[in-house]
């Protein structure tokens, strides 16, 4: 069993991660890793260190669906991965997939993001 998080009294954070393609989601689900653009790294690392838990909700750009969600399992390091085969990604970090399922945005239309002008979560 896992010991309690030293940050257990801190808030839980959620991020929607957009991928350019389904192949990146498949790689992530198989290997338990993810990589994002350097512009996202500072925000995610800050959330990882200042929160009790960070959940990542994945969606392929233009799909109209979420492809599942995972828990951020490590901070983002400097090591890069060849798995994505594309320049522009930063370091790799661990993710623990909780649900691997395609879910239509229509099931989340009642959710509004107060930090994004109350727009629908998608």
Give me the CATH number covering residue 99: 3.10.590.10
Report if residue 2 sits inside a domain. no
Q: Domain limits at 87?
A: 12-120
Digit-coded pLDDT (tens) for 80-107: 878 776 667 888 999 999 988 887 777 7
CA-atom Rg of the chain in angstroms: 14
Give the length of the chain.
122
Band of pLDDT at residue 1, cut at 50, 70 and 90: very low
C-alpha distance from residue 47 to each of 16, 38, 70, 106 (Å)? 13, 15, 15, 28
Report if residue 84 sits inside a domain. yes
Assign 53 to helix, strand or coil. Answer: strand
- Over range 63-84, report the average pLDDT: 88
Cβ count within 10 A of residue 71? 14
Q: Is 68 left (phi over 0), alpha (psi -120 to 50) or beta?
A: left
Which residue's entry shows tokens 């909780």?
A: 98
Report if residue 4 sits inside a domain. no
pLDDT at 77: 87
pTM over 0.75: yes
As for how many domains the chain has, the answer is 1
């Amino acid at each position: 069993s896992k010991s309690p998080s030293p940050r257990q009294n801190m808030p839980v954070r959620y991020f929607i991660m957009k991928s350019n393609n389904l192949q990146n989601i498949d790689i992530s689900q198989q290997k338990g890793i993810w990589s994002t653009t350097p512009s996202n790294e500072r925000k995610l690392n800050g959330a990882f260190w200042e929160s009790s838990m960070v959940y990542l909700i994945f969606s392929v750009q233009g799909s109209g669906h979420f492809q599942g969600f995972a828990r951020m399992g490590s901070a983002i390091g400097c090591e890069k991965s060849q798995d994505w085969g594309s320049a522009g990604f930063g370091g790799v970090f661990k993710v623990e997939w909780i649900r691997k399922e395609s879910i239509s945005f229509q099931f989340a239309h009642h959710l509004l993001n107060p930090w994004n002008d109350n727009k629908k979560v998608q």
